[in-house]
Structure 1
């Protein structure tokens, strides 16, 4: 993962942890900027973001939605990569390809889609 995206997602993780520990979300300009920068990285539209930034409750929902997409997408791609690797080692290249196709069928997060597309391209280059 690139360092900028990693740092952005790390900031979200810290913010969500504080909220989960009972600290209320403060809609400072810094928090608004963080959510505005993070939302496109998980395929959430600017329109949805701006609507969510209208109040603390909807901004908290947005924060949790962003973090859920990161968490779920990460689990999905890691699991698929593991299955793909096992299938490839067994010689089942088509089964390995299907693992990445299955991710692409449901994944919204561009970073995880790029990983799946890259893996699929690599499998397609195999004899």
Structure 2
């Protein structure tokens, strides 16, 4: 499971990146970016290419932060509606919402959460 502290750190780093990009790659930030890129489903080769310089690394950091934020918001909204539909007895509607979000979600951790909800719905039938 990804570390909430690392995800918060990369989102903070994303907010601190200036335009034009000032040098920010250190051994510590490089390790943070590598681990969080993996957490949000960015392939290792793409990560390695982006970490060649500060400008491309900044783009990668922004993408990581965006995936974390967008996925979290998307998942939070859909889970509220899934629970509402499940409580109303509309298991098919709840399942469809989960499948729809699964079709667009790229963050493995969020995909895992959706799969847990789908399994719970299957267990209710």
Q: Same fold (TM over 0.5)?
A: yes
Structure 2 unaligned residues grouped into runs of 5+:
none
1:49-88 equivalent positions in 2, closer than 5 A: 49-88=47-86
Q: How far has the Cα of 1:22 moved from its partner?
A: 8.1
**Deviations 1:44-72, CA, capped at 9 Å, x for gaps:** 01100111011111000000000011111
1:25-104 equivalent positions in 2, closer than 5 A: 25-104=23-102
Secondary structure in 1 aligned to 2:37?
helix
Does the 8 Å contact 2:10/2:65 carry over to 1? yes
Alpha-carbon distance between aligned partners in 2 of 1:7 and 1:27, rounded to the nearest angstrom: 19
Which deviates more from structure 2 when the two are superposed, residues 28-37 or residues 16-25? Answer: 16-25
Does the 8 Å contact 2:39/2:107 carry over to 1? yes
Does the 8 Å contact 1:26/1:56 carry over to 2? yes
Q: How far has the Cα of 1:99 moved from its partner?
A: 1.1
Does the 8 Å contact 1:19/1:25 carry over to 2? no
Alpha-carbon distance between aligned partners in 2 of 1:106 and 1:24, rounded to the nearest angstrom: 33
Q: TM-score, normalised by structure 2?
A: 0.92
Residue in structure 2 matched with residue 8 of structure 1 by the alignment:
6
- Higher relative contact order structure (alpha carbons within 8 Å, sequence separation ≥ 6): 2
Structure 1 unaligned residues grouped into runs of 5+:
none
Cα 1:110–1:49 change in 2 (3 A) is same
Cα 1:118–1:13 change in 2 (3 A) is same
Secondary structure in 2 aligned to 1:125?
helix
Q: How far has the Cα of 1:77 moved from its partner?
A: 0.7
